[in-house]
Structure 1
Amino acid sequence: SLAIMPLGTANDFARACGIPTDPEGAMQLAVSTPPTLIDVGIANGRAFLNMATGGFGTQVTVETSDELKQILGQAAYLVTALTHFDGIRPVRGVFWGPEFLWEGEFLVLAVGNSRAAGGGYQLCPLAYLNDGLLDVRLLPDLPAEEVPNALGLLFGDGLDAVTTVVGATVTKLYVEADEPIQINLDGEPITSNRFQFEILPRRLPMILPPLCPLIGSRG
């Protein structure tokens, strides 16, 4: 079984699961709780548990310094986004999977097994860890004058607060972009212009709190 010690900078996955943020509490949970089977996401053959992100949101996450995060916390990502506003450039891609097809220019891509990334921002707020599905969110390109408001919503209320967001739940997702793009898998970057995402249902035993909000179903 896998247990998580939340010793990272943001601890997005641990926080979303309700795992105690102090090492002693996390250790107590690990030694006293039976495991729960969770899904595992796969992107181009590499596993991820939390989320795969791409586009401008990934750029912001990579370029936000640890020093700024220590000073401003989650607000550091919004500050970085606004200071890099002039560098926002959409990428054109085709996305398809079972009963899903979308083509166009996009600013942000999120493929979630869990819900939050980039310092706790809700990118896939309806995701569950044990439903055998990946949650997909795409932010299409926007007119320049609408981008600051969209970024404020993204880094405030979450991606679904942006009314133009495209969403889907799939077991597989294929992506072809016009140029290589960087995708972060739980913070680890991979670069390609083609991606294949899939979900392995209930594959990994993990120690989670008894009332973990990410364990459930869509009804």
Structure 2
Amino acid sequence: MMMEKERTRGVATKAVIIGNPNSGSAGDEGYLERFAEALRTGGIEVEVLNTERPDHATELAALAGDKLVIAAGGDGTVNEVVNGLSGGATLGILPLGTANVLARELGLPMNPEEACARILTGTAFRMDVGVATDEEGTERRFACMAGVGFDADVVREVGPRLKRYLRSLAFPLAALKVYLQGDQPDLQIVDGDTTYVTQFAVVANGRYYGGEFEMAEGVSLGSGELEVVLIEKVGLLMRPDVLARILAKSPLDRAMKSFTSRKNIVAKSPAARGARVPVQIDGEVWGRLPMSFRIEPAALNVIR
């Protein structure tokens, strides 16, 4: 378990804050400098870097080297930072987004001022990360989850503008729209010699999904394995009871099929329709099937 892993107290003396100015609860102009000043008061030399385009946070994190790299934004910003970190870097999080899934998984305060204090006083430990690989061999890390099928369609439907204006209402409304469209293609999830057929799958590195919604229960950020949750369909539509729980942000019925694995998990769909099945990584659409997923144990140093 995560808490049983070796942890070391102490924070680097140099840090960068990488911030998304368009994040859900970013605040007014100059907000990142105020957080930086709080960290400077705690003895850290801090540089603030604003993102200007998609994947810019990944580039900035890669240039930071082995410093403390603080992702200030939502789950998309955190994911971009995670994909640029060097092996010797440490991740800190200022949760400024809508869902803040990794921050919740880590037990961090949702208030950014309190999160600054946690960066100064918290402990660092090595967490697992998931890795998705597409058909061309391109890889992308994920901190919390990858969603295949339905929820990736929902994420694509929402878009950054709708999320910014409707905030927490954006995803339930988009989910209802995608659900009523129906006709989601079957998926094949392959774990070693076993193949599962489903309509919507979540490959989870932790418990939470979309905020405080508990999707998985068999894994943690330090368990060394992934949990795959399979949501089946009724007729042409996904199970309506599952949709109701998603809209209400209630824990899913554990009678649903799920399994944990340390193997390479493959997701695919029938050739004629698989080309249109998207995949979301930590809340952002990234590629289409076929795709594989694996776990990298203790791959990332993070402040908790």
The reply on whether 1:196 has 2:298 as its aligned counterpart is no
Q: TM-score, normalised by structure 2?
A: 0.60
Q: Is the 8 A contact 1:61 1:118 kept in 2?
A: no
| Structure 1 counterpart of 2:282, from 179, 183, 186 | 186
Measure, in 1, the Cα distance between the counterparts of 2:118 and 2:154: 33
The residue type paired with residue 204 of structure 1 is L
Higher relative contact order (CA 8 A, sep 6+): 1
Gap change, CA 1:156 and 1:125, over 3 Å in 2: farther
Percentage identity across aligned positions? Answer: 25
Gap change, CA 1:146 and 1:8, over 3 Å in 2: closer
- 1:216 is matched with which residue? none
**Any stretches of 5+ residues in structure 1 without a counterpart?**
209-219
- 1:211 is matched with which residue? none
| Structure 1 counterpart of 2:131, from 36, 42, 57 | 42
Q: Is the 8 A contact 1:82 1:148 kept in 2?
A: no
- 1:121 is matched with which residue? 213
Measure, in 1, the Cα distance between the counterparts of 2:91 and 2:229: 28
The reply on whether 1:174 has 2:270 as its aligned counterpart is no
Measure, in 2, the Cα distance between the counterparts of 1:142 and 1:195: 25
Measure, in 2, the Cα distance between the counterparts of 1:146 and 1:33: 42
Q: Give the aligned length.
A: 202
Measure, in 1, the Cα distance between the counterparts of 2:207 and 2:124: 20
Measure, in 1, the Cα distance between the counterparts of 2:290 and 2:238: 29
The residue type paired with residue 257 of structure 2 is V
Q: Map 1:44-63; keep pairs closer than 5 Å.
A: 44=133, 45-63=139-157
The residue type paired with residue 278 of structure 2 is Q
Q: Map 1:41-120; keep pairs closer than 5 Å.
A: 41-44=130-133, 45-64=139-158, 65-66=162-163, 69-70=166-167, 73=168, 76-98=170-192, 101-106=194-199, 108-120=200-212
Q: Is the 8 A contact 1:130 1:201 kept in 2?
A: yes
SS at match of 1:90: coil
SS at match of 1:130: coil
Q: TM-score, normalised by structure 1?
A: 0.81
Gap change, CA 1:58 and 1:82, over 3 Å in 2: same
Deviations 1:19-76 (A, max 9, x none): 1111111111112123111101100021111110121122223323225643xx3x54
Q: Is the 8 A contact 1:13 1:117 kept in 2?
A: no
| Higher percent of residues as strand | 1
The residue type paired with residue 243 of structure 2 is L
Deviation at 1:143, TM superposition (A): 2.9
Larger Rg: 2
CA RMSD of aligned residues (A): 2.3
Deviation at 1:93, TM superposition (A): 2.7
SS at match of 1:2: strand
Gap change, CA 1:56 and 1:146, over 3 Å in 2: closer
**Any stretches of 5+ residues in structure 2 without a counterpart?**
1-89, 134-138
Deviation at 1:134, TM superposition (A): 0.3
Poorly superposed stretches of 4+, deviation over 6 Å: none
Deviations 1:140-182 (A, max 9, x none): 221358733320023336463164x220001121122221221
Q: Is the 8 A contact 2:150 2:178 kept in 1?
A: no
Deviations 1:100-140 (A, max 9, x none): 6233241x210011222234322223320001000101112
The reply on whether 1:26 has 2:115 as its aligned counterpart is yes
